[in-house]
A and B are shown apart, each in its own frame.
Chain A
Amino acid sequence: MTRTESEAFTVNSDWELVSQGAEAKLWKIPAGSLFDVPCIAKERFSKAYRHPALDEKLTKQRCRAESRILTKCMEKGIPVPRVLRTDAPVLYLEYIDAPTVREYLESDLLLALTNTAQNASQHDKLQQLALAFGQMVAALHNMGIVHGDLTTSNAMIRLPEMTLVAIDFGLAKNTTSTEERAVDLYVLERALSSTHPKLPDDFWTLLLTSYRAAAEKAEATLSRLEQVQIRGRKRECFG
């Protein structure tokens, strides 16, 4: 057993470290160890570079925000991992046995496709994925939730049915602001182009079409998105 930063939190030898990101470590915990189903422990660790007051606030706040919003999604029927326990800065979540969208896109199958866009069935899969992603974002926005960190690493994909499970809600919040929804989409657009430069152009167009069809305030959000994009391009940049 190793002791980690937070006091009561101990990692068992049968826990498997599955991810160490920028601000959290995630372990897979086998069934029967803590809960009778396999689960994930997500520990937000403290950052020495931050002022202690800011650090404490951010790690706890984000853990609680994630827990609160996951619970809300679950109640409203949006596919997310179930929260099993919240013990800030540690969150225990249902284990989702699926790859992330990024892993899926980077698998050999789709890499070939994104280069040539020839194979019709693979192109279909990509279209299906774009549609599902648009619907997932719309469903969140319809519940008054902005995700705050929409990327292909923060959605998992159940195969073969291609349903998406949204994860990583630490930067999420409850809001009905049009600007916040537009920025949510803007962050996703830029994450797609920087992480997947070879993705065909119509992926984003299709994603937005599907968002438009499913989101309640789509018109207002998408016209605000245009403004946010223009702001990005026109921003004075010198020095």
Chain B
Amino acid sequence: MVTATDAPCRAFGNLPLPHPPLHRIPSTALGITYVLGIEGSANKIGIGVLQYDPSEETYLIRANPRKTYVAPTGHGFLPKQTAYHHQQHVVPLIRAALNEAGITLQQIAAICFTQGPGMGAPLQSCVIAARTLSLLFDIPLMGVNHCVGHIEMGRIACQATNPVVLYVSGGNTQVIAYSNQRYRIFGETIDIAVGNCLDRFARVLHLSNDPSPGYNIEQAAKRAGKHFLELPYTVKGMDVSFSGILTQVEQYAKAISSSSDFTADDLCFSLQETIFAMLVEITERAMALTQQSQVLIVGGVGCNRRLQDMMQQMCHERGATLCAMDHRYCIDNGAMIAQAGILQLQYGGNTTPLEDSVCTQRYRTDQVLTVWREP
């Protein structure tokens, strides 16, 4: 297992940095570039301050505070309430991040914000904050694809040059591999996302959303008596489907009674065993196809220990390595948006003019031209 590091990180596997720098660096000591990252595409709002130090050629997270909107038990998070949550927290979080980093907005070279994919209203709340700062302090904007943020933070933190990426969250389930300046989607869900499947099942069982429904399913699975109930297993090539599993497991849940020979915990266990086996299988298939030997799991579901363990076992059997789970790229945060944004900035990618700074709910990973990587 490759462990992630919190220390200053060098980038590996990118093109050489343009020299002298292509972007404007506000007068900072030693020519250090600072960028701000604003993330709010789902139920978390996070602000990151990231620096690039040219003398050491390293990237370092200087601050990365975040707040999570937790929906009441039995409910998912809705756009309106989530947007309201983000609006309340965005300004105090920016202040806190700048304070912690010990810098001022005048020193920031770009404001990186999540342009998509995500939920409309929460995304908009953040983009409005980004635009306001941009106009007030005359700082360029840099729109970032959320998933590319996860990937770039993972690559840097784990020094993984060219991993196969499993992106698993509430809204996404994708197997991604790099080729020819794009992160290409090799496999994905053909219906609902894995996190969505877990969240919805947690609601059926009335599990709490605190800290997250997936976490509570994981705890329930650990308590189970290893009674494995068979569920549909649907893999098509490198694509997966979860809707049939959800229907089946919901029916089992309704059948729970004092006389049934399985418990809610057994269902959580069986659900995890089945859907994680599917995810590991399609990841392995993508590795065999692309002949790569590193795996990076990003997105909230990547925090699940059982998924991590299964992936680790698969990697071990193939002589591959799994990048360690790490909060900096598994859970949504501002620094990861700053990381993808600073690469775009440094390698001469266009900044985002105000009139183009609209966010989009659908923004596919393979739409981004990764100018910092070898064609």
Contacts and interface: CB of A to CB of B under 8 A. Distances in A.
Interface of A: 21-23, 47-51, 53-54, 57-58, 148-151, 153, 171, 183-184, 186-187, 190-191, 193-195, 197-198, 228, 231-239
Contacts of A190: 185-187, 237-239
B182 A197 contact: yes
Contact of B237 (A48, A150, A236): A150
A238 B237 contact: no
By CB atoms of chain A within 10 A, which of B119, B237, B299 has the most? Answer: B237
A148 B236 contact: yes
A151 B282 CA distance: 14
Given A51-B228, A54-B274, A239-B170, A148 B190 contact: no
Contacts of A183: 190, 236, 239
By CB atoms of chain B within 10 A, which of A48, A49, A53 has the most? Answer: A49
Contacts of A23: 281, 284-285
B277 A50 contact: yes
A228 B189 CA distance: 11
6 contacts: A23-B285, A49-B317, A54-B228, A148-B236, A186-B239, A231-B190
Given A47-B314, A50-B277, A239 B299 contact: yes
Interface string B219-260: 000000000101001011111000000000000000000000
B24 interface: no
A221 to B, nearest CB: 15
B237 A197 contact: no
Given A21-B288, A149-B236, A233 B281 contact: no
Contacts of A195: 186, 289
A237 B233 contact: no
B243 to A, nearest CB: 11
A31 B193 CA distance: 48
Contacts of A47: 277, 281, 314, 317
B287 to A, nearest CB: 7
A234 B313 contact: no
A236 B361 contact: yes
Question: When A and B form their complex, which 4 residue pairs have the shortest distance between CB atoms, in order from nearest?
Answer: A239-B170, A239-B169, A238-B171, A238-B118
B303 interface: no
Contacts of A233: 362, 364
A195 B186 CA distance: 8
Interface in B84-128: 117-119
A187 B280 contact: no
A195 B288 CA distance: 12
Contacts of B233: 54, 58
Nearest to A61: B233
A197 B117 contact: no
A184 B41 CA distance: 32
Nearest to B44: A239
Contacts of A228: 190
Nearest to B118: A238
